[in-house]
Amino acid sequence: MTVSGSMSSGYCSLDEDIEDYFFTAREILSRKTTKDIPKEERKTSAQELRQKIERFNVMVQNGLIMKMADDDTYTGFIKVHLKLQRPVTIVSSSRPPSIYDTLKAAPSKTKDKQTSLYLPLDAVKQLHISSVTTASEVIRGLLQKFQVVDDPQKFALFKKLQRDEQVLFQKLSLTEHPLYLRLLAGPEADVLSFVLKENETGEVQWEAFTVPELQNFLLILEKEEREKLQQVHNKYAAFRQHLQEALTEATGKRV
């Protein structure tokens, strides 16, 4: 799967002009048909759907309401938390300032003017999407937004649920519609939130990573090794000190 300029899915960040990066929700809706709407949603009548949206909007505290169109589709907002443990590759010349200022590792450049870096773990992107926007389109749109050139198949969109005081993560299929899930769960992020993570498919396919990524992995391993060695050293140094103190005390008592 590759990222192209025409893959935009009717969403935008609230803090940026929609025309700068993405198509409007109305444009994406005109390209989709009712077959793109989830089966369970198609079974819901327009009246029932409108009632769900009205109940949702009553609970909204921040003004980010959902709006229904004449063709029974609707638009609204979701927040996506970025929880990426590995570095990503972006084009150096298009590095977003907000990301560059929060780098967690020194970037390494290649002859293609690409930079490998870490996105901040606490990064949150608020997106305006339509009811026919898929999880796949959200992933590709986020990558394009941050100028990430990695293969979208490396990433997955998860829904984070709170159940019985437990936090659960469930991977969304590429064809699921996040806005419909938001509508069903209500506006509270404590009940449901969305997270972008690495797509863990089992054994790591190292050949899928770029040279800057692999170099950063080595740096991470070296850093972790140093930290572990220091922890072991501190542990045994403290243990040795306690033994010496106990020995000195015992010797002194005998004298």
Res 9: pLDDT:
35
Q: What is the pLDDT of residues 27-48, one digit of tens each?
A: 343 345 445 555 566 667 888 9
* Interstrand relation of 192-198 and 155-163 (parallel, antiparallel or unpaired): antiparallel
- Residue that is written with structure tokens 């327009």 in the block: 46
Cβ neighbours for 80, distance < 8 A, ≥ 6 positions apart = 124, 125, 126, 127, 138, 142, 157, 194, 195, 196
Which residues face 157 on adjacent strands?
Answer: 196
Which residues face 128 on adjacent strands?
Answer: 77
In this structure, are residues 67 and 179 in contact, taking their beta carbons and an 8 Å threshold? no
User: Looking at residue 102, what DSSP letter applies?
Assistant: T
Instruction: Count CA atoms closer than 13 A to 192's CA, side-chain side.
Output: 17
In this structure, are residues 32 and 41 in contact, taking their beta carbons and an 8 Å threshold? no
Question: Would you give per-residue pLDDT tens digits along the chain (255 residues)?
Answer: 333 333 333 333 334 433 333 333 333 433 454 455 555 666 678 889 999 999 999 999 888 899 999 888 999 999 999 998 888 888 765 444 443 333 334 444 444 577 778 888 878 999 999 999 999 999 998 998 888 888 898 899 999 987 777 888 899 999 999 999 999 999 998 889 999 999 876 556 667 677 877 887 788 888 888 988 999 999 999 999 999 988 888 887 654
The CA distance from 52 to 188, in Å, is: 15
Q: pTM for the complete prediction?
A: 0.60
Cβ neighbours for 9, distance < 8 A, ≥ 6 positions apart = 22, 23, 28, 129, 130, 133, 134, 137, 138, 140, 141
In this structure, are residues 200 and 153 in contact, taking their beta carbons and an 8 Å threshold? no
* Interstrand relation of 114-117 and 155-163 (parallel, antiparallel or unpaired): unpaired
Res 37: pLDDT:
58
Which residues face 81 on adjacent strands?
Answer: 124, 195
